[in-house]
Amino acid sequence: MSVFTYRLLGLLLVGGSLAATQHRDDLTAVFTRINDDVQRNGRAYETLGDATRTIGHRLTGSPNGQRAEEYALALLRQYGYADVRYQPFEVEAWSRDTVTLAIAPGKSDNFREVPVVALAHSPVDAKVNGPIVDVGDGLEEDFEAKKDLVKGRMVLTNIGLLKEPKMRKNLHRSEKAAIAIRYGAAGIIMVNTVPGEVLLTGTASVTGSLIPIPAVCISLESGRQIRDWMATEKLMAFVDMHNFNRPVKARNVIATLKGRTKEKIVIGGHLDSWDLATGAIDNGIGSFAILDIARVFKNLNLKPRRTIEFVMFMGEEEGLLGSKAYVKEALRNGSIDQVRCMVNLDMVNNPRGFNASGRSELVPLLTQIGERIKALDPLFANVIGNQAGLHSDHQSFMLEGVPTLHPTGGISPQAAGCYHANCDRFDLVNRQELQNTVRFTAMLLYALADAADLPAKRLPSEQNRDFLVKQGLKEQLILGKDWRWTERQ
């Protein structure tokens, strides 16, 4: 190697080191500006509080849902976004009317009515009865152990895990309902695992379409009473329900911050909620954090390398309907190839780290970003996870091979107990924790959008199949009728 080559190499190394140092300094400066803006000007807590007071719940397809869409659009325009639009879609949507559950021993007329709520996508009309069979936690092995007893009967199962929870992987309530249908159950009664007479709602359908059997939820305390009663007598369950299912129009709300390239980062969270309460936690803390992150980027005039789309999805609660509509349009117009990453905020609160959702290539980058955030505020612990999951809007992107990730943080036990329940109200929201979600996620978003390169690429179909298998998601996707590959069992 010549002396000239050595000198050139040295200059390149020094230049690269100076460039890297400059980038770190620039990133720290932007993070500091974001931090200061949110601490001084943050509006997520105030706007979420206002929305819960003036709108209430945000059920997809309802007048309240429409008002929520309009509220988000108006807020984004107020923050300075000219490129903000509705993305309309039309779907079948479910809403509740009336439901009763009565329990009686044998063929006796000694009925006891039990407080109950219908689970979404139960039949429009159902009047069924049958002996109760307790299938415990409602996993495949629980049904298999009582397969000769389930057909034509009312199954009783836990929504969570009560039996050796550390040794078993729970299923979504819709997946438990799908198993019950496969085994021929006449109906399914799900027992909440949260104390305090809490009734939980949510979909019982893996596809977002009506299921053929009624599905209801009772409280933990009612479940215990029924099980105690079953220890001495054989019981019958009687369900009488009426619901609505009709085509509705809903709209995602999308604001675009143009970058210097055609590549884009999508940050999204579902705006819709169930109708039993205001949905302040699920998912007000996610969607209104994103709205305030959008405000921060405009207020600071941030112009990262990549385009950012801030998306308020509707219809997540009824089957990821809004994110499916977004991805369908992106596949149709070819823009899906421009989406380098999808960041999902669903009940994220007070982040302590990030989850790379199984995409190991992202772990070093997320670790580095987290280190910069932690240097600014040691409250951020920079805990990096790397496990993919289902049942939120990221799933629609992940099924097309798009890398997904999300901040990780916990909500209080009281708030967690009000998931999908009538106690999900604004008084559960902690202002500082919501601001932490805004500032730490805004820093992550800027770093992703302005990085020279992102190591994770969109996976081709076959590679994505292998990725989903490796993440242990195949069986759940089959249950949900979202497994599109037939080879390689």
Instruction: Mark whether 433 and 292 lie in a shared domain.
Output: yes
CA–CA dist 348, 114 (Å, integer): 33
Ordered DSSP codes for 142-166: HHHHTHHHHTTSEEEEESS--SSGG
Domain end (from 244, 274, 290)? 244
Instruction: Mark whether 38 and 170 lie in a shared domain.
Output: no
Instruction: Mark whether 112 and 220 lie in a shared domain.
Output: yes
Does residue 349 have a cis bond before it (omega within 30 degrees)?
A: no
Q: Which domain holds residue 220?
A: 94-244
pLDDT at residue number 24? 66
Q: How many CA atoms lie within 13 A of 345 on its CB side?
A: 32
pLDDT at residue number 109? 74
The predicted model gives 476-486 an average pLDDT of 93
Task: Decide if 434 is inside a domain.
Answer: yes
The predicted model gives 325-344 an average pLDDT of 98
Q: Which helix (H) or strand (E) holds 298?
A: helix 285-299
Q: Contact 430/370 with Cβ under 8 angstroms?
A: no
CATH code of the domain in which 412 resides: 3.40.630.10
pLDDT digits (tens, 9 = 90+) for 343-370: 999 999 999 999 999 999 999 999 999 9
20 pLDDT band, cuts 50/70/90, is low
Instruction: Mark whether 314 and 460 lie in a shared domain.
Output: yes
Query: Is the pLDDT reported for residue 119 higher than 80?
Result: yes
Instruction: Mark whether 159 and 39 lie in a shared domain.
Output: no
| Nearest Cα residue to 114 out of 216, 196, 212 | 216
Query: Is the pLDDT reported for residue 416 higher than 70?
Result: yes
The predicted model gives 322-336 an average pLDDT of 98
Number of structural domains in the chain: 2
Task: Decide if 487 is inside a domain.
Answer: no
Using alpha carbons only, how large is the chain's radius of gyration in Å? 24
Query: Is the pLDDT reported for residue 164 higher than 70?
Result: no
pLDDT at residue number 13? 36
pLDDT at residue number 201? 96
Q: What are phi and psi of 372, to 5 degrees?
A: -65, -40
Task: Decide if 10 is inside a domain.
Answer: no
pLDDT at residue number 141? 95
pLDDT at residue number 9? 38
pLDDT digits (tens, 9 = 90+) for 373-387: 999 999 999 999 999
pLDDT at residue number 85? 98
Residue in the structure block whose two tokens are 């670790």: 367
165 pLDDT band, cuts 50/70/90, is low
The predicted model gives 135-150 an average pLDDT of 96
Task: Decide if 444 is inside a domain.
Answer: yes
CA–CA dist 474, 173 (Å, integer): 17
pLDDT at residue number 236? 96
pLDDT at residue number 486? 86
466 pLDDT band, cuts 50/70/90, is very high
Instruction: Mark whether 278 and 394 lie in a shared domain.
Output: yes
Task: Decide if 305 is inside a domain.
Answer: yes
Instruction: Mark whether 50 and 179 lie in a shared domain.
Output: no
Instruction: Mark whether 433 and 329 lie in a shared domain.
Output: yes
Domain end (from 177, 209, 244)? 244
| Nearest Cα residue to 264 out of 336, 187, 357 | 336
Write the CA distances from 380 to 93, 241, 429, 455, integer angstroms: 40, 47, 19, 24
| Nearest Cα residue to 175 out of 201, 203, 142 | 203
pLDDT at residue number 98? 98
Query: Is the pLDDT reported for residue 18 higher than 70?
Result: no
Query: Is the pLDDT reported for residue 75 higher than 80?
Result: yes
How many other C-beta atoms lie within 10 A of the C-beta of residue 67? 15
For the chain, the 3-state helix, strand and coil shares in percent, each to the nearest 5, are: 40, 20, 35
Task: Decide if 6 is inside a domain.
Answer: no
Instruction: Mark whether 326 and 463 lie in a shared domain.
Output: yes
Average per-residue pLDDT in the chain?
93
pLDDT at residue number 379? 95
Least confident of 110-114, 167-171, 464-468: 167-171
pLDDT digits (tens, 9 = 90+) for 255-278: 999 999 999 999 999 999 999 999
Query: Is the pLDDT reported for residue 213 higher than 60?
Result: yes
Task: Decide if 154 is inside a domain.
Answer: yes
CATH code of the domain in which 183 resides: 3.50.30.30
91 pLDDT band, cuts 50/70/90, is confident
Q: Contact 126/213 with Cβ under 8 angstroms?
A: yes
CA–CA dist 489, 487 (Å, integer): 6
Instruction: Mark whether 471 and 323 lie in a shared domain.
Output: yes
Domain end (from 244, 277, 295)? 244
Task: Decide if 44 is inside a domain.
Answer: yes
2 pLDDT band, cuts 50/70/90, is very low
281 pLDDT band, cuts 50/70/90, is very high
Interacting residues of 278 by C-beta distance below 8 A, sequence separation 6+ = 52, 55, 56, 57, 58, 284, 424, 425, 426
Instruction: Mark whether 304 and 445 lie in a shared domain.
Output: yes
Interacting residues of 300 by C-beta distance below 8 A, sequence separation 6+ = 30, 33, 34, 37
Instruction: Mark whether 217 and 358 lie in a shared domain.
Output: no
CA 88, chain centre distance (Å): 20
166 pLDDT band, cuts 50/70/90, is low
133 pLDDT band, cuts 50/70/90, is very high
CA–CA dist 35, 441 (Å, integer): 11
